């Protein structure tokens, strides 16, 4: 009995270009708080589907209070996950 293709949590098949981990848009968003788990759209915590790029938050998402991704201005500090 054949099985369907295995999928990542974002619904993309394993090995597909879209399934390759990429930094979340949140990291370059003007609405992100200092603690990257929170933002103006989700003050109680950013949903995992957005953090994992399973939803493009340039489009509305339930509970985002009408606030979507907006890029920081060029030259504005961006979150560096490797900074110490």
* pLDDT at position 75: 73
**Domain edges within the chain:** 21-73
Token pair for 73: 């201005």
Average pLDDT over residues 12-23: 58
The pTM of the full predicted model, rounded to 2 decimals, is 0.64
In the prediction, which pLDDT does 46 show?
Answer: 95
What is the full DSSP assignment across the chain? ---PPPB-TTSPBTTSGGGS----GGGGBTTB-SSTT-BSS-TT---HHHHTTSS-TTS--TTSTT----BPPTTS----TT--
């Amino acid at each position: 009995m054949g099985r369907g293709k295995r999928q990542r949590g974002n619904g993309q098949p394993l090995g597909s270009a879209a399934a390759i981990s990429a930094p979340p848009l949140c990291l370059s968003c003007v609405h992100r708080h200092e603690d990257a788990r929170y933002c103006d759209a989700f003050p109680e915590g950013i949903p995992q589907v957005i953090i994992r790029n399973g939803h493009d938050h340039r489009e509305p998402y339930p509970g985002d209070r009408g606030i979507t991704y907006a890029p920081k201005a060029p030259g504005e500090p961006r979150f560096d996950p490797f900074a110490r």
